[in-house]
Structure 1
Amino acid sequence: MRLLITLRRLGTGGIEQASLTLANAMAAAGHEVHLLVLKGQPTHTPHPDVIVHCRDLDREQRSGLAGMGWHLLNRLVLTPILPHSRFVWQGWRCSRAFDAFVADTERRYGPLDLILLRGQGAFEMLWRVQDPRAWRVVEAVTGRFSRNAWGRWLTRRLFQGKRVVCVSEGVRTSLHAYLTEQRVTLDATRVIYNAVPIAELRHKAQEAPSPVIPGPFLVHVARLVPVKQQTLLLEAFALARRQGLTHRLVIIGDGSQRPKLEALTQRLGLEEVVHFLGQQANPYPWVARADALVLSSRFEGLGIVLIEALALGTPCVATQASGGIAEVLIDEQRDLVTEPTAAALAEGMLKAVTSPITIRPAWVERFAEPRIVGEFLDLIEHRSESADVPSS
C-alpha cells in the first residue's frame, strides 16, 4: 500500500510523535509511506524507508504578486471583518496546492491508497481537500467556535462531510457532541488508537538514567502547561508526603509553567525531593524504574504516556479527565484513577506504592503497532462505508 501522512510540524509534541510512530510502523511492515511536513524541518529522523517531503504551502502561496495580494487581503481586510476566518482564506489556496502536490506525488510514485491529515493546524490549512481517500485524525476537539450562525459556518468548513478518525471513544463522544451543537455532520467516523512502539521503548528503558535519582520515586512525564495541571500534582504530592509517602518525584518535560512550578515546589518545601529534569529525549529509563507514573491532566486525547508506562511494567495513577484515560487504564488500574483533587490524587499515590499492581500484557497489546497499522489499512477496504453521526 502507498500512504501519505500530513501534519503541520514534526517536533516533540504528542501528535507529532504519534504520526512518526505510525509512519515508521507502516514502513517497517513493507508499505510505502510518504510524510508531508507543512512547516519547518523534522526534528526527528523517521524510518529510512519513509519518504519525507517538507513543503511550506502557506509560504509558497504568499509568493508572487497575486499570492502576496491575497495574503494581505486576508490579514488586513477579511480576518478583521470576519473574526476567526483567517484559516478559511489561507486554506482556500493551500488546499489547492496540496491537491497539486498529491497529483505530482502520484505521477512520480504511483497512486496513493490512503491520505491521513493529522492535527488542527493541518485541518485548517487543508480544509478544502475533498479527496475520498483522505481521513482527518482528531486527537482533541480544539478551536471550538461560537454557537451561532457564524460559528456553525466556520465549523462546517473544517468538518462538514469529512471522514474522521478519533484516537479514543472519549474524543469521538466530545466531537459528536460539539458537531451536533453546530449542526454539522460527518461522512464517517472511526476510532483507532495511537500506536506505541513497545519493543523500542523497552530497549530504550535499558539505558542507564542520568542523573540517577536516589531512593524510590514517582515519575511524571508531560509538557509543563496548564492543561497538565502540575500545580495539582505538586499539591497532592506534598499532601501524600505528610501522610507518610517516602518517595521522591521526578518531573520530566518543559514548558511555560516551569518557573511557576519550581516556585511552588519551594513554597511547599519540596525542593529536596522534587527533581525537574526538563525535556529528555529518552525518558524511559526513569519511567521503567519508577514505582508509579502520575498524571494530573485535565484532558488527554488518549494518554500515550500511560500506555508507555504500562509497557514498561509501571503502574499509573491518573486523575479523571475527558478523553481516553478511562480506555487505557482498565481492570485493576481503574482503582488508581482518582477524582481531580489533591486529597484524592494523594490517596492514589499512596495506594500505588503500598498495593502494587501487576501489569497484564493484554492491557498493552491493544496499542501494539501491527494491530494499529491493520486498523488504518482497513480504512482503505471500507472506503465506501459511512458511520452515522447525530445531527439536527
Structure 2
Amino acid sequence: MKRILIILRRLHHGGIETASINLANALADQGHEVHLWVLRGEARMHPAPNVHLHQGQDIEREARQYGTGLLMHLLNRALLRFLFRGSHFVWLGRTTSRVAQRKVAEMEARYGRFDQIIVRGQGAFELLWDWRDPRIWQVVEGTMLKLCRYRWQAWFSRLLFQDKQVVCVSEGLASTLQLFLNETGVTTARTEIIYNGLPLQCIREQAAGPAQPAFSSPYLVHVGRLVPVKNQALLLRAYQESGLTCPLVIIGDGSERAALESLSAELGLNDRVSFLGHRDNPYPWVARASAFVLSSSFEGLGMVLLESLACGTQVVATEVPGGIREILVGEQRRLLAEPTPTALAAKMCEALSDPVIPDATWLTRFDDRKLAQRYLELDSPSHD
C-alpha cells in the first residue's frame, strides 16, 4: 500500500479536475491511501468516500498575511508587476511553497509520510514552484501559451520546469512542451507520458439517467467550459454555415457564455441552439446525441472525447495540437476537421449523413485502473 497526495489549485468543474478525481478514485480502489488537496477554496466536485479530501483553505491568502509574503505582495502590487509582467507567481510562489510544505508536514504527522506527491495543472505549479522534493511529479495537461505571452518566458519556464519530474497526458502535449522548453533552454529531470484514465462503467451507468430537458433526435451536443481555448465561437459559426436544422445543445459555463449567447443571436441560431449551462451529469445528453462536436484550439488530451466514445456517441473534432489524434483512431479519424467554420461544418454534416460507429476497443488504452498503475511504477527501480 502506498500513501499518495494529489494537489490541485482548485476543484471546480473541468477536465483537469475530472482527471484528478478519476486517478484518485482508481488508486484508492486498488487499496492505496489517497489524499486530494485543494489549495484554494471549497471543492465543487468530490472524489469517492475512500479518498481523503482536504479543502476550504487558501494558501495564497495565508501566504500574504505576514512577513515576507506580505512584503512581496505589496511590492508586486506597487512595482514588480509593472517591471516584470506576468511575474506575480514568482513572488507569491516562494511563500506559498513554504506554506504548502508546512501543511504537508502537518498532514504527514497525522497520516504518515507520503510516498508520492502528484501536482496537477499550471495553477498549482505556479503556487508550488519553489518546493523541490524527489517525490513530486508535475502533471502537464494544457498548452504553454500563457507563458509564451511574456518577455520573461525563459525565466518563468525555468522556475516551473528546470530539473522537475514531469508527466504529460499525451504524446502530442509532450512534443509541444518539449519544443517550448528547447526554445527557453530548460531541461526537465524526467518526462513521462501517461494518459488520463476513464471509469468506463461509471460513465455508462450515469449515461442511462434522464436527460431533462429532452431533445428529439437527431441533435448535436457539445460539453466544455465556455472559455477562449475551447473556441465555441468556431462551433457556432460552423453550425450556422452547415445549414443543419437539428438542434445544437451546448452544456457548460464560463467566462465566454454571454458573448457566445450574443453570437448565437447575431447568427440567427437562437431557435436551434440551447445553452444548458453546467450539468453535474452531462452524459445522458451525450449518449442520446447523434454526434459530439469539439471545436477547441488545443487539447492536452481531450477527456470529453473519451467520455463521448464511452457513451457510444461518435465525435467530430478540430485537428489541432495536443492529444486529439491519440484518442480518435480508426474510422473515427474520418471526422477530424481543419479548425475553420467551413471544414468543421462539412464534418458535422458528414457525421449525420455517414456516421461512424464507435468501437469499444478504442478505449482500452484509457482504462483508469491500468493508468493509475503507471503512476505507481514511476518511482520503482525497474522503471529508472
Question: What is the TM-score when the length of structure 2 is the normalising length?
Answer: 0.94
Deviations, residues 4-37 of structure 1 (Å, cap 9, x unaligned): 0011111112212211121122112211001111
Which residue of structure 2 aligns with residue 227 of structure 1?
229
The answer to whether 1:10 aligns with 2:21 is no
Which residue of structure 2 aligns with residue 343 of structure 1?
342
Aligned-residue offset at 1:147 = 8.0
Aligned-residue offset at 1:209 = 0.6
What does 1:53-132 correspond to in 2, within 5 Å?
Answer: 53-54=54-55, 55-65=57-67, 67-132=69-134
Q: Which moved more, 1:218-227 or 1:290-299?
A: 218-227
User: Aligned equivalents of 1:377 and 1:264: distance in 2?
Assistant: 47
The answer to whether 1:211 aligns with 2:200 is no
Deviations, residues 83-119 of structure 1 (Å, cap 9, x unaligned): 3322122111221222222323222222211101111
User: Aligned equivalents of 1:21 and 1:103: distance in 2?
Assistant: 26
User: Aligned equivalents of 1:19 and 1:187: distance in 2?
Assistant: 23
The answer to whether 1:25 aligns with 2:26 is yes
8 Å contact 1:11–1:17 — kept in the other structure? Answer: no
The answer to whether 1:330 aligns with 2:329 is yes
Aligned-residue offset at 1:66 = 5.2
Q: 2:196 aligns with which of 176, 194, 197?
A: 194
Aligned-residue offset at 1:170 = 1.1
Equivalent residue letter for 1:365? T
SS for the counterpart of 2:237 is helix
8 Å contact 2:252–2:278 — kept in the other structure? Answer: yes
User: Aligned equivalents of 2:337 and 2:67: distance in 1?
Assistant: 58
Which residue of structure 1 aligns with residue 176 of structure 2?
174
8 Å contact 2:24–2:34 — kept in the other structure? Answer: yes
When residues 204 and 78 of structure 1 are mapped into structure 2, their CA distance, relative to the original with a 3 A threshold, is same
Aligned-residue offset at 1:135 = 0.5
Equivalent residue letter for 2:351? A
User: Aligned equivalents of 2:331 and 2:287: distance in 1?
Assistant: 19
Deviations, residues 43-93 of structure 1 (Å, cap 9, x unaligned): 122211211223422222223455433432343344433333221221112
8 Å contact 1:146–1:152 — kept in the other structure? Answer: no
When residues 108 and 310 of structure 1 are mapped into structure 2, their CA distance, relative to the original with a 3 A threshold, is same
8 Å contact 1:133–1:383 — kept in the other structure? Answer: no
8 Å contact 1:134–1:163 — kept in the other structure? Answer: yes
Q: Which moved more, 1:306-315 or 1:352-361?
A: 352-361
Aligned residues: CA RMSD: 1.9
Equivalent residue letter for 2:77? R
Equivalent residue letter for 1:144? L
Deviations, residues 157-180 of structure 1 (Å, cap 9, x unaligned): 111000100111111111100110
The answer to whether 1:248 aligns with 2:238 is no
User: Aligned equivalents of 2:241 and 2:153: distance in 1?
Assistant: 44
Equivalent residue letter for 1:174? T
Equivalent residue letter for 1:349? M
Equivalent residue letter for 2:175? T
8 Å contact 1:10–1:43 — kept in the other structure? Answer: yes
What stretches of structure 2 of length at least 5 have no aligned partner? Answer: none
Aligned-residue offset at 1:317 = 0.4
8 Å contact 2:86–2:150 — kept in the other structure? Answer: no
Q: 1:144 aligns with which of 139, 143, 147?
A: 147
Equivalent residue letter for 2:50? D
When residues 111 and 65 of structure 1 are mapped into structure 2, their CA distance, relative to the original with a 3 A threshold, is closer
When residues 260 and 100 of structure 1 are mapped into structure 2, their CA distance, relative to the original with a 3 A threshold, is closer
Residues paired across the two proteins, number? 381
8 Å contact 2:14–2:224 — kept in the other structure? Answer: no
List structure 1 runs of 4+ shifted beyond 4 angstroms: 145-148
Give the fraction of aligned pairs with identical amino acids, expressed as a percent.
50
8 Å contact 1:145–1:155 — kept in the other structure? Answer: no
8 Å contact 2:245–2:272 — kept in the other structure? Answer: no
Which residue of structure 2 aligns with residue 310 of structure 1?
309
SS for the counterpart of 1:300 is coil
User: Aligned equivalents of 1:147 and 1:82: distance in 2?
Assistant: 9
SS for the counterpart of 2:40 is coil
Equivalent residue letter for 1:216? P
Q: 2:160 aligns with which of 158, 178, 185?
A: 158
Aligned-residue offset at 1:281 = 1.3
The answer to whether 1:288 aligns with 2:292 is no
User: Aligned equivalents of 1:90 and 1:186: distance in 2?
Assistant: 23
User: Aligned equivalents of 2:148 and 2:264: distance in 1?
Assistant: 37
8 Å contact 1:228–1:297 — kept in the other structure? Answer: yes
Which residue of structure 2 aligns with residue 388 of structure 1?
none
User: Aligned equivalents of 1:15 and 1:201: distance in 2?
Assistant: 17
User: Aligned equivalents of 1:226 and 1:343: distance in 2?
Assistant: 20
SS for the counterpart of 1:322 is coil
8 Å contact 2:221–2:285 — kept in the other structure? Answer: yes
Which residue of structure 2 aligns with residue 355 of structure 1?
354
When residues 99 and 260 of structure 1 are mapped into structure 2, their CA distance, relative to the original with a 3 A threshold, is closer
Question: What is the TM-score when the length of structure 1 is the normalising length?
Answer: 0.92
When residues 50 and 212 of structure 1 are mapped into structure 2, their CA distance, relative to the original with a 3 A threshold, is same
8 Å contact 2:147–2:156 — kept in the other structure? Answer: no
User: Aligned equivalents of 1:273 and 1:154: distance in 2?
Assistant: 45
